Structure 1
Amino acid sequence: MTTLTSPRSTHVPTRVPTRVAVIGGGRSCEHDVSLASAASVADALDPAAYDVVRLTIARDGSWLDEHGTPLDLAGAVGVLAGCDVVFPVVHGPHGEDGELAALCELAGRPYVGSGVGAGAVAMDKWVTKLVAGAVGIATAAGRLVTADTAATLAWTGPVVVKPVAAGSSHGVTLVRTPDRLAPALDAALALDGRVLVEEVVDGREVDVAVLRRPDGSLLASPALEIVVDGLFDHDAKYGGHADLLVPADLDEVDAKALEQAAVATYDALGCDGVARVDFFLTADGLVLNEVNTVPGMTEHSQVPRMFAAAGLPYAALLDELVRGALA
């Protein structure tokens, strides 16, 4: 007699996707840039591994869900609390400066990127200079100016005037003549109550990105060189008026020095996730310019292009960031 038996099940349980809240927008002058970064991140996260929840912070600071429905702060925190991890892509003040990291901490959610302290310190270009100097990394000679002290600033030669905590090169002016100093200070002070006035550095603009991987190790990207006629300002950055060369044409000594300085700066500031460390490479060595803890994150932004040149494509980079936050 033949006995009929049911075949053994070969069903493999389906992996439950990780729920990721991607936040874009924000109250700063980088609102539109942030929206582009957030949309690109949300679109590129692997749908087989991640269930993406899109949130937007409007220009007035109000929150919108993925359908454009307004949320009060409690409602937004509730959405974050219902996610496994948060991916903030809000550049500039009220986002990159540690504010969103603090909100995630209060909501008890892991998040991609640097913590509260590192975000606040790196966003402050003056404090970043002090930290860099303490670990032996050169920065441009400069001074801090406020509305109360601006009128007493004497002309000493060409300078770069920049807000201490604005982003995307907003309010940055290369001042070549004495008559342009006061208008440049006014433009910067309109965006920030504190302004950095630095001597012009003659050198190549070269950036290195640093990524903390899920196992805690640090990975430095190939260097990227910005080739532009004049200042790498907002128009040059987003108007296609600069050439981005990656990997940069560097000798082994300079490449190693830039990598070591980028990692040392990242470490000294206490960064996490990915950060872009910007330098000038001069005849006398490298000079730190600034650090971005929430750099542009479209697929064609500097940081993704740098890691792509190292063999880490965009989707894989995002996956590393999310897994690193969860780790």
Structure 2
Amino acid sequence: MKKNIAIIMGGYSSEYAISIKSGSVVDKHLSSERFKTFSIVINKESWYYKDKEGINHEVDKNDFSIFLGNQKITFDCIFNAIHGTPGEDGLLQAYFELLRIPQTSCNHYQAALTFNKRDLLSVLKPYGIKCATSYFLNLGDEINEQKIIEKVGLPCFVKANRAGSSFGISKVYQAEELDAAIKQAFLEDDEIIIESFLDGTEISVGVITYKGKVTVLPITEIVSENDFFDYEAKYQGKSQEITPARITQNQRENAERTAKKVYQVLKMSGYSRSEFIFIGDDPYMLEINTTPGLTEESILPQQAQIAGISLPELFESAIEEALKNNNV
């Protein structure tokens, strides 16, 4: 019998449109012979499934079910394609764990931890994972620009602590630019992180559990046409994403080892895509994404295809792992 798969997409953040695109690609590539898929949009106003006639069917949040006519539809597995809150920060993971419905992303604690850049880097430092020098600010804190610059130097990056797709991020060259950058970051989150500038090759490393094995995918080199890998560079063609990356054998081995260590130290499951910058041969961690983009043009699917893993294989493996891990 076909498994009922709910592909959740949308979310509450600035990444809504990107998530809709990712979810649509997953729906397109999952086997119709093995799965019956339902694209379910989650936004602040409602959670719903839109049928072929364009009729919206509201999700019953008590058990995450829908009614089609008189038939109640429940789901064997949730495929999570939501970038940002509530799909990448642990909220929906905890909800599905309580309902005992298998889902393809990591568990709620790992999602919450990795979504919080400040907490993630603090947890990883004792394990020898290198990262930029950082300064933390919460909304309402006194802003001492001299102290910030003394600690992180110039240029520096000002980032929203809990946001993706480079929303709320600025590169600051002059002290006079710092106040505006901080205000912009606070539009995305009430916590921000200010980091020293790392001058080196930027890479993205996908790590997944594929057919029961933790697998490091071919590494992608990021070459932005803009000043850094911002929203335009990521989604509007203003960058080159070169896979495999043009790095040395030693750099490649160090990056693979570090990305795999992060995945295992954090007890991750599902997909992850970690961002690093090389200083010499050492990869310095920027962040990790636990529901990365899943369109044909996105980095992790590109890496998987170069590794010989097709999109149907990539997506179906995530469902199989979720079902197995939940003893279904």
Instruction: Check whether TM > 0.5.
Output: yes
| Deviations, residues 142-179 of structure 1 (Å, cap 9, x unaligned) | 11111233522323421100000011100100001111
Residue from 198, 202, 206 that aligns with 1:201: 198
Letter in 2 for 1:47: S
| Counterpart residue number, 2:26 | 41
**Counterpart Cα distance in 1 of 2:293 and 2:109:** 20
1:69 aligns with 2:34: no
Tell which structure's C-alpha radius of gyration is larger: 1
SS of the residue aligned with 2:65?
A: helix
Q: Is the 8 A contact 2:251 2:281 kept in 1?
A: no
| Counterpart residue number, 1:224 | 220
Q: Is the 8 A contact 1:26 1:61 kept in 2?
A: no
| Counterpart residue number, 2:69 | none
| Counterpart residue number, 1:260 | 257
Structure with greater strand share of residues? 2
- Superposition pairs of residues 305-320 of structure 1, within 5 angstroms: 305-320=302-317
1:25 aligns with 2:10: yes
SS of the residue aligned with 2:131?
A: coil
- Superposition pairs of residues 1-327 of structure 1, within 5 angstroms: 16-58=1-43, 60-67=44-51, 68-69=55-56, 71=58, 73-74=60-61, 77-79=64-66, 82-154=74-146, 155=149, 156-215=153-212, 217-229=213-225, 230-283=227-280, 285-327=282-324
Letter in 1 for 2:15: E
Q: Is the 8 A contact 1:30 1:168 kept in 2?
A: yes
| Deviations, residues 236-293 of structure 1 (Å, cap 9, x unaligned) | 1111000000011222211111011001111122211110011001225210010000
Q: Is the 8 A contact 1:304 1:314 kept in 2?
A: yes
**Counterpart Cα distance in 1 of 2:73 and 2:272:** 26
Q: TM-score, normalised by structure 2?
A: 0.91
SS of the residue aligned with 1:186?
A: helix
Q: Is the 8 A contact 1:81 1:108 kept in 2?
A: no
CA distance change for structure 1 residues 201 and 73 in 2, over 3 Å: closer, same or farther? farther
**Counterpart Cα distance in 2 of 1:276 and 1:319:** 18
Letter in 1 for 2:300: V
Q: Is the 8 A contact 2:254 2:281 kept in 1?
A: no
CA distance change for structure 1 residues 114 and 257 in 2, over 3 Å: closer, same or farther? same
Identity of aligned residues (%): 27
**Counterpart Cα distance in 2 of 1:149 and 1:167:** 23
Q: Is the 8 A contact 1:88 1:100 kept in 2?
A: no
Q: CA RMSD in A?
A: 1.6
Letter in 2 for 1:92: G
**Counterpart Cα distance in 2 of 1:220 and 1:210:** 5
**Counterpart Cα distance in 1 of 2:45 and 2:112:** 19
Q: Is the 8 A contact 2:145 2:178 kept in 1?
A: no
Q: Is the 8 A contact 1:40 1:299 kept in 2?
A: yes
Q: Is the 8 A contact 1:63 1:76 kept in 2?
A: no
| Residues matched between the structures, number | 310
**Counterpart Cα distance in 2 of 1:78 and 1:270:** 30
**Counterpart Cα distance in 1 of 2:61 and 2:287:** 34
SS of the residue aligned with 1:33?
A: helix
Q: Is the 8 A contact 1:214 1:325 kept in 2?
A: no
Q: Is the 8 A contact 2:145 2:175 kept in 1?
A: no
* TM superposition shift of 1:109: 0.6
Letter in 2 for 1:190: L
Q: Is the 8 A contact 1:161 1:196 kept in 2?
A: yes
Q: Is the 8 A contact 2:131 2:286 kept in 1?
A: yes
* Structure 2 gaps, min length 5: 67-71
**Counterpart Cα distance in 1 of 2:35 and 2:59:** 25
**Counterpart Cα distance in 2 of 1:259 and 1:232:** 21
